[in-house]
């Protein structure tokens, strides 16, 4: 029997009868969410202290199989252990009363005995809670399991879907709640643990994780990893493929398929300088190395801040380093996000808003104020667009996600409104006060998970009570930013002088008063091109766009941001000359930020048959996260 939960009941106390079980003491088990409404774990009763993974990578079956071992902190001796899972096949669960100490857990040898466990009925958003019975003496739990091809956090690629076409590829994407689809975990950003892993991959492929690589056996293909600092499950990451490494600086380097490596090394040459720039502002980098892995083009995001090893889309390799603010962004997460982590997904702005703010400070330090301003203005444009589409409640920084998929809370609000709040504080108090304030935020909450309420208290104590706004500056009302829609009326909006000229040209070009295409200067930066394309009036004529294509062949731009923006304009204005480029792009690139607006534009241009035809061919190459979004759009 399956009972239906309302969204609210689901998040407060999920009401799920159990599935068939082995050795179950009762016929049913109910999973209830804990302090984090997106996790069935109850760390206040039994908290995972450390994790060890031992996994074999099977490309033929598209399965990871092995064990996850957990050491426990028992706060309530009578409580069971609750873990999150999704689409995992659990084979057996064992317990032991060993004292692992500092030894790796992955291959811990101890007197394990089998225990009783139950998997609750899966919830559509959260997956299935796994309840493990413990004895009074239990200190360690080992789960024998395998992933299924439905794992939302893994993408398995054929050789043809990679740059070099020679070997298959696997990578994980765990944020927000996809870690549970590839290892059982207390999958909440409020639960941080050190972890270690042994991953056996087919020889000669290379396995990489968001951790220190401590050993590799070239005969067995076993790779050992360790992460000694506590991190939440969403920051555990794995990639396997034919990958090679190129050093960029003493602490930085890039991993990519061999054919991609020279271009990547050129594009990311500034990584070491970026690292130094953030350290100047916010204190030492605490993670040892900072490397970047270039993924195949199906990666659903631009970048993911996996500790020590950012995962990135190849679409930021433009040849001219113009899109490296994404690297600055993922690097900035080494402070905002990885060192100080949002405690729940409703606090996402503490990760992303802080990170966009720091990203722009890095861009300013390396490339100058003008470029940082241009990027701020483009970001503000994205924010205004988001406000136009979001319900008022979702325009707040502190969002309500009870009963909702945290991926739904993902919008430009957390990013750009969050960053503008920090800009407002910076402007009110001046960098002399604000920079040390942020440094102190990171230092005093290092390796901790924080809520919005804690930030409010901290700002109250360390900023508002200790300092006065600069002369002529008003105090900042956090309430207005955090819990009200839109932007406060006194928000300082970014401005770029370099864009004023572009705006005038865009208007003139569309009106036909800017004489001819030749007048468009070729020396624009990509940011200026983006502004120009976004600044063209909605009623720009088909003929003016065709002329642009003829003059600049934008549909062959090597800059994915410009190309995506141009293709969208072409769809919206019926410029069919770009159709081949459109189809090629959609079949090659799976980055959700590019793919979604293009399918949406096709629908709005009454070309749903084209959208479906292209998607039919492209779908198999997309990541499950992108598939889910496009499925929902074209359903």
Q: Which residues are catalytic?
A: 330, 415
Taking the C-alpha atoms of residue 116 and residue 262, their distance in angstroms, rounded to an integer, is 53
Interface with ligand BES includes 352 (CB under 6 A)? yes
Tokens of 450: 């924080």
Residue 59 or 345 with smaller CB distance to ligand BES: 345
Binds 593: which of Zn ion, ligand BES, none (CB < 5-8 Å by kind)? ligand BES
Q: With contacts defined by CB under 6 A, name the span among 184-192, 238-246, 328-336, 599-607 that binds ligand BES.
A: 328-336
Buried b (16+ CB within 10 A) or exposed e, 90-120: beebbbbebebeeebbbebebebeebbbbbb
Q: With contacts defined by CB under 6 A, name the span among 155-163, 302-310, 360-368, 457-465 that binds ligand BES.
A: 302-310
CA proximity to 112, closest of 94, 98, 100: 94
Residue 304 or 571 with smaller CB distance to ligand BES: 304
Q: How many CB atoms lie within 10 A of CB 26?
A: 9
Buried b (16+ CB within 10 A) or exposed e, 316-345: bbbeebbbbbbbbbbbbbbbbbbbbbbbbb
Q: With contacts defined by CB under 6 A, name the span among 23-31, 327-335, 487-495, 523-531 that binds ligand BES.
A: 327-335
Residue 606 buriedness (CB in 10 A; 0-12 / 13-18 / 19+) = exposed
Q: With contacts defined by CB under 6 A, name the span among 32-40, 303-311, 503-511, 605-613 that binds ligand BES.
A: 303-311
**Backbone φ, ψ for residue 266 (5° rounding):** -65, -45
Contacts (Cβ under 8 Å, ≥6 apart) of 579: none
Q: With contacts defined by CB under 6 A, name the span among 84-92, 244-252, 296-304, 460-468 that binds ligand BES.
A: 296-304
Terminal CA-to-CA distance of the chain, rounded, Å?
Answer: 28
Residue 88 or 414 with smaller CB distance to Zn ion: 414
**Minimal distance in Å, beta carbon 173 to ligand BES?**
7
Binds 371: which of Zn ion, ligand BES, none (CB < 5-8 Å by kind)? none
Residue 291 or 305 with smaller CB distance to ligand BES: 305
Interface with ligand BES includes 455 (CB under 6 A)? no
Residue 123 or 407 with smaller CB distance to ligand BES: 407
Residue 178 buriedness (CB in 10 A; 0-12 / 13-18 / 19+) = buried
**Minimal distance in Å, beta carbon 595 to ligand BES?**
12
Interface with ligand BES includes 157 (CB under 6 A)? no
Among 19, 74, 473, 593, interactor with ligand BES by CB under 6 A = 593
Interface with ligand BES includes 304 (CB under 6 A)? yes
Tokens of 581: 């480029």
- Binders in 161-180 for ligand BES, by CB under 6 A: 175-176
- Binders in 407-426 for ligand BES, by CB under 6 A: 410, 415
Interface with ligand BES includes 590 (CB under 6 A)? no
Residue 204: asked if its preceding bond is cis (omega within 30°), the reply is yes
- Name residue 342's beta-bridge partners: 450
Interface with ligand BES includes 568 (CB under 6 A)? no
Using DSSP's 3-state secondary structure scheme, residue 18 falls into strand
- Tell me the angle at which helices 542-552 and 497-511 cross, rounded to the nearest 10 degrees: 120
Q: For tokens 């040892």, what's the residue?
A: 288
Interface with ligand BES includes 501 (CB under 6 A)? no
Rounded to a whole number of angstroms, the CA Rg of the chain reads 25
**Minimal distance in Å, beta carbon 330 to Zn ion?**
7
**Cβ proximity of 64 and 55 under 8 Å:** yes
Residue 304 or 582 with smaller CB distance to ligand BES: 304
Among 301, 311, 367, 529, interactor with ligand BES by CB under 6 A = 301
Residue 84 or 352 with smaller CB distance to Zn ion: 352
Tokens of 604: 């709005």
Among 121, 123, 257, 330, interactor with ligand BES by CB under 6 A = 330
**Minimal distance in Å, beta carbon 312 to Zn ion?**
12
Residue 221 or 353 with smaller CB distance to Zn ion: 353
Q: Taking the CA of residue 177 as centre, how many other CA atoms within 13 Å lie in the half-sphere pointing to its CB?
A: 33
Residue 281 or 327 with smaller CB distance to ligand BES: 327
**Minimal distance in Å, beta carbon 333 to ligand BES?**
6
Q: For tokens 């969204």, what's the residue?
A: 7
* Residues 241, 243, 248, 251, CA torsion sign: positive
Taking the C-alpha atoms of residue 543 and residue 548, their distance in angstroms, rounded to an integer, is 9
**Cβ proximity of 236 and 332 under 8 Å:** no
- Binders in 276-295 for ligand BES, by CB under 6 A: none
**Minimal distance in Å, beta carbon 601 to Zn ion?**
25
**Minimal distance in Å, beta carbon 299 to ligand BES?**
9
**Minimal distance in Å, beta carbon 415 to ligand BES?**
6
Residue 374 or 540 with smaller CB distance to ligand BES: 374
Q: With contacts defined by CB under 5 A, name the span among 234-242, 346-354, 452-460, 499-507 that binds Zn ion.
A: 346-354
Q: How many positions of this chain bind ligand BES (CB under 6 A)?
A: 15
CA proximity to 291, closest of 355, 348, 350, 247: 247
Interface with ligand BES includes 324 (CB under 6 A)? no
Q: How many CB atoms lie within 10 A of CB 609?
A: 9
Interface with ligand BES includes 380 (CB under 6 A)? no
- Chain residues that interact with Zn ion, rule: CB under 5 A: 352, 355
- Chain residues that interact with ligand BES, rule: CB under 6 A: 175-176, 301-305, 326, 329-330, 333, 352, 410, 415, 593
């Amino acid at each position: 029997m399956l009972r239906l939960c309302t969204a609210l009941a689901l998040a407060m106390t999920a009401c799920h009868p159990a599935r068939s079980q082995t050795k179950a003491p009762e016929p049913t088990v109910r999973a209830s969410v804990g302090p984090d409404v997106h996790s069935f774990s109850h760390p206040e009763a039994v908290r995972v202290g450390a994790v060890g993974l031992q996994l074999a990578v099977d490309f033929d079956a598209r399965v990871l199989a092995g064990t996850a071992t957990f050491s426990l902190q028992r706060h309530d001796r009578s409580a069971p252990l609750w873990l999150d899972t999704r689409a995992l096949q659990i084979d057996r669960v064992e317990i032991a009363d060993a004292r692992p100490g500092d030894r790796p857990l992955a291959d811990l040898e101890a007197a394990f005995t089998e225990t009783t466990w139950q998997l609750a009925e899966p919830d559509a958003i959260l997956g299935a809670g796994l309840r493990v019975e413990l004895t009074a003496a239990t200190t360690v739990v080992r789960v024998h399991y395998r992933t299924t091809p439905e794992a939302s956090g893994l993408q398995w690629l054929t050789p043809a879907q990679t740059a070099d076409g020679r070997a298959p590829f696997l990578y994980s994407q765990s944020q927000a709640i996809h870690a549970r689809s590839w290892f059982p975990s207390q999958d909440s950003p409020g639960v941080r643990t050190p972890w270690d892993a042994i991953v056996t991959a087919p020889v000669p492929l290379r396995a990489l994780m968001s951790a220190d690589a401590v050993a590799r056996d070239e005969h067995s293909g076993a790779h050992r990893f360790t992460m000694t600092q506590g991190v939440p499950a969403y920051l555990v990451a794995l990639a396997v493929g034919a990958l090679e490494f190129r050093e960029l600086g003493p602490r930085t380097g890039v991993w990519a398929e061999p054919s991609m490596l020279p271009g990547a090394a050129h594009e990311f040459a500034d990584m070491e300088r970026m690292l130094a720039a953030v350290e100047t502002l916010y204190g030492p980098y605490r993670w040892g190395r900072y490397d970047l892995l270039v993924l195949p083009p199906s990666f659903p995001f631009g970048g993911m801040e996996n500790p020590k090893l950012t995962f990135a889309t190849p679409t930021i390799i433009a040849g001219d380093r113009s899109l490296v603010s994404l690297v600055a962004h993922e690097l900035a997460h080494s402070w905002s996000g990885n060192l100080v982590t949002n405690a729940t997904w409703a606090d996402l702005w503490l990760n992303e808003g802080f990170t966009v703010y720091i990203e722009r400070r890095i861009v300013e330090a390396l490339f100058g104020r003008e470029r940082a301003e241009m990027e701020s203005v483009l970001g503000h444009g994205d924010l205004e667009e988001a406000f136009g589409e979001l319900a008022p409640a979702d325009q707040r920084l502190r969002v309500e996600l009870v009963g909702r998929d945290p991926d739904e809370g993902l919008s430009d609000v957390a990013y750009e409104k969050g960053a503008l709040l920090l800009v407002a504080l910076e402007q009110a108090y001046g960098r002399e006060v604000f920079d040390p304030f942020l440094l102190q935020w990171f230092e005093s909450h290092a390796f901790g998970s924080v809520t919005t309420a804690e930030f409010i208290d901290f700002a109250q104590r360390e900023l508002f009570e200790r300092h006065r706004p600069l002369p002529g500056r008003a105090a900042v009302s956090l309430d207005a930013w955090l819990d009200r829609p839109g932007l406060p009326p006194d928000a300082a909006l970014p401005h770029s002088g370099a864009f004023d000229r572009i705006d005038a040209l865009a208007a003139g070009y569309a009106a036909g008063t800017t004489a001819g295409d030749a007048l468009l200067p070729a020396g624009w930066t990509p940011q200026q091109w983006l502004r120009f394309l976004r600044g063209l009036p909605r009623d720009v004529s088909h003929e003016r766009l065709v002329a642009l294509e003829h003059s600049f062949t934008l549909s062959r731009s090597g800059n994915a941001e410009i190309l995506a923006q141009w293709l969208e304009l072409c769809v919206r204005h019926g410029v069919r000359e770009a159709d081949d480029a459109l189809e090629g792009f959609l079949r090659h690139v799976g980055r959700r930020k590019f793919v979604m607006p293009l399918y949406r534009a096709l629908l709005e241009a009454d070309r749903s048959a084209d959208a479906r035809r292209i998607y039919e061919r492209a779908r198999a190459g997309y990541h499950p996260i992108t598939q889910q979004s496009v499925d929902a759009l074209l359903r």
